[in-house]
Amino acid sequence: MSNTPIPPNNPPQHIAIIMDGNNRYGKAHALQAGAGHIKGKDALDPIVEHCLARGVKVLTVFAFSSENWARPQAEVDLLMRLLESTIHEQMPRMNKYQIRLRFIGDRSMLNSDLQALMADAENKTAHFDKMTLVIAISYGGQWDIAQACQKLAMQVQKGELAPSDVNANLIAENVELADLPDVDMLIRTGGEYRISNFLLWQSAYAELFFTETLWPDFGADELDKMIQDFGNRERRFGKTSEQVQNES
């Protein structure tokens, strides 16, 4: 457990992490092909437990993007196997800490066994309320917004909505994670400075954090420093500093 002081006010309710750098970690440590991803899988557990200890309500991690399907087939197959083993390994932890496990993404791209495993894990943890761990699999932010618009288009076609009724609020109600708080902190490890189509709608006002640290090396101490930084930032949501200060 980290000893870094945490600001008492305005803690993040929803942290999202782009877990980048597994392949580079493997190459840097002369590991066999794919071993960096295994190290990355192992790095998730302490971060989940630390977020729970810090009072974070939602942790969303980017495990496999819509674009990752274009990677070499051997790597895709490995990642699918690791996702399956991750779910099996997470279940005892979800039960121990009463964490709800959820998945977002285009499940039609996944094999039926993995889809069934995901649905079973969601059903068995649906009643837990200490924290929610969301794993994004076959997910893309543009896909997410498009599927929300498709739902609304179907309602317009059926006469349940007029085109003029479609607005940002309705789209927000139909994207993934609509029932959870928007992202407060979006973290990307691995030294890249982009959000790579991750939670585009939900991160509209997220505070962004980038680190050179490769995901397998990312730990609680560095996360705590980011949380401390988050607590010191002024989140205006379009208002002026004076308005925010007067409201607080």
| pLDDT above 80: residue 122 | yes
Extract the tokens encoding 151: 């739902």
196 is in an annotated binding site: yes
What is the average per-residue pLDDT within 11-25?
94
Please count the structural domains in the chain: 1
Residue 2 falls within a domain, yes or no?
no
pLDDT bin (cut points 50, 70, 90) of residue 3 is low
Instruction: Please state which of the ranges 171-175, 195-199, 212-216, 241-245 shows the lowest mean pLDDT.
Output: 241-245
Residue 75 falls within a domain, yes or no?
yes
Residue 133 falls within a domain, yes or no?
yes
**The pairing of beta strand 99-104 with beta strand 131-139:** parallel
pLDDT bin (cut points 50, 70, 90) of residue 58 is very high
- Residue 1: its pLDDT value, please? 47
138 is in an annotated binding site: no
24 is in an annotated binding site: yes
pLDDT bin (cut points 50, 70, 90) of residue 5 is low
Residue 158 falls within a domain, yes or no?
no
- Give the mean pLDDT of the chain: 92
81 is in an annotated binding site: no
Give the domain CATH number at 101.
Answer: 3.40.1180.10
Residue 111 falls within a domain, yes or no?
yes
- Residue 36: its pLDDT value, please? 87
| pLDDT above 90: residue 6 | no
22 is in an annotated binding site: yes
pLDDT digits (tens, 9 = 90+) for 65-94: 999 999 999 999 999 999 999 999 999 999
Domain, as residue range, for 136: 14-140+183-231
Residue 173 falls within a domain, yes or no?
no
Beta-strand runs (E) in 149-241: 185-188, 207-210
Give the CA diameter of the chain. 60
pLDDT digits (tens, 9 = 90+) for 209-230: 999 999 999 999 999 999 999 9
Which residues are identified as catalytic?
A: 20, 68
Residue 240 falls within a domain, yes or no?
no
| Torsion sign across C-alpha atoms 178, 182, 188, 189 | negative
Whether the CB-CB separation of 104 and 177 falls below 8 Å is answered with yes
Residue 149 falls within a domain, yes or no?
no
